[in-house]
Amino acid sequence: MSRASRARRAAAAAAFGGGGLTALTAVAVGVVAVEARLARRWVGRPFGDAGPEADGVYGAGPGTTLVLGVVGDSSADGLGAETAEQTPGAIVATGLAALAGRRVRLVNKAVVGADSRDLPGQVDRLLADVAAPDAVLVMVGANDVTHRVRPPEAVRALGEAMARLRSAGAEVVVGTCPDLGVVEPVAQPLRTLARRGGRELAAAQTIAVVEAGGRSVSLGDLLGPEFRAAPTELFSADRFHPSPAGYARAAAVLLPAVGAALDLWPAQERVGRSDRVVPVAQAAAAAAHEPGTEVEGARHHGAERGPLGRWARLRRRSER
């Protein structure tokens, strides 16, 4: 079965209530969950139960203040960052303010330990505070693997949250499931199994996001090569969460997508194989294997859908 077929199968299961990952992967993910819990117990909780409080206004300038919401798990909350300004939400808000020449208000509802099933509740709390955020950044997926959440259930919850946010008029960018295979306390051969489970979830997330009218950015093993070269620089003391430098690296690939969704990112700032329009399942599978890839809905010969479903655009942007 091809990667695109596996992605399409997982997304279809989310929509119609069927199965999820293969039996082998499901068992493997269960073992990874146990391994991750043991590793967490060994490492401890050096950062407590929440990232730095980052809500507030960033940047300066005239005009209406833009509102950026953040929902998701500990990576969205910035656990491991030392200051509020080092959290991914604050980094993206600061970048948006520079792009727009306007102030950006950050409203963070992400919760450490959350998985995709918690997203609808977080969205409820976000929309209770801000009825119509301009953009919402979602970072979620790792705890779905370690909590053994069935991928169809995780993707359905993500889709529900997406629908609420899009109905409220928000542009939505989702950083998909990261690669647990780069986490040092997870030993081989479980790293390889964790990587496969995470990639399959990330691909299914991408399909759900694009179908709902949002954009996805694959985080995957974004920190992998650099982590292997300098593990103490990009991962924090708990060896699970990114360090400030790691969050900056992730925010560098998320900011362009959020900026583009708000028509703020310069269209000419792209690199390499900038644009490809392919069926969404193919795009999702490719993105899951190429961290930093952005996927959004597209039209092909004037149509949104083709014989294999929704058309999607794969894009690699500059990280400057």
CATH homologous superfamily of 3-317 equals: SGNH hydrolase (3.40.50.1110)
Q: What is the pLDDT of residue 204?
A: 94
Q: Would you state the structure tokens that stand for residue 204, as one six-digit string? A: 């299914």
Q: What is the pLDDT of residue 256?
A: 93
Q: What is the dihedral of CA 282, 287, 293, 295, to 10 degrees?
A: 40
Beta-strand (E) ranges in the chain?
56-58, 66-72, 104-108, 135-139, 171-175, 215-217, 270-279, 294-297, 305-306, 309-317
Q: What is the pLDDT of residue 227?
A: 53
Q: Would you state the structure tokens that stand for residue 130, as one six-digit string? A: 């801000």
Tell me the domain boundaries of the chain: 3-317
Question: How distant is the alpha carbon of residue 31 from its chain centre?
Answer: 23
SS3 of 232-295: the string is HHHECCCCCCECHHHHHHHHHHHHHHHHHHCCCCCCCCEEEEEEEEEEHHHHHHHHHCCCCCEE
Per-residue pLDDT tens over the stretch 146-160: 788 888 999 999 999
Hey, which residues are catalytic here?
74, 238, 241
Say whether 36 sits in a helix, a strand or coil.
Answer: helix
Q: What is the pLDDT of residue 298?
A: 95
Decide: 204 and 14 in contact? Cβ < 8 Å: yes
Q: What is the pLDDT of residue 15?
A: 39
Q: Would you state the structure tokens that stand for residue 242, as one six-digit string? A: 């990114």
Q: What is the pLDDT of residue 308?
A: 87
Where the chain has pLDDT below 50, the residues are 3-24, 26-27, 42-44, 46-47, 271-272, 319-320
Q: What is the pLDDT of residue 50?
A: 81
Containing H/E element for 143?
A: helix 142-146
Structure letter (DSSP) for residue 50:
S
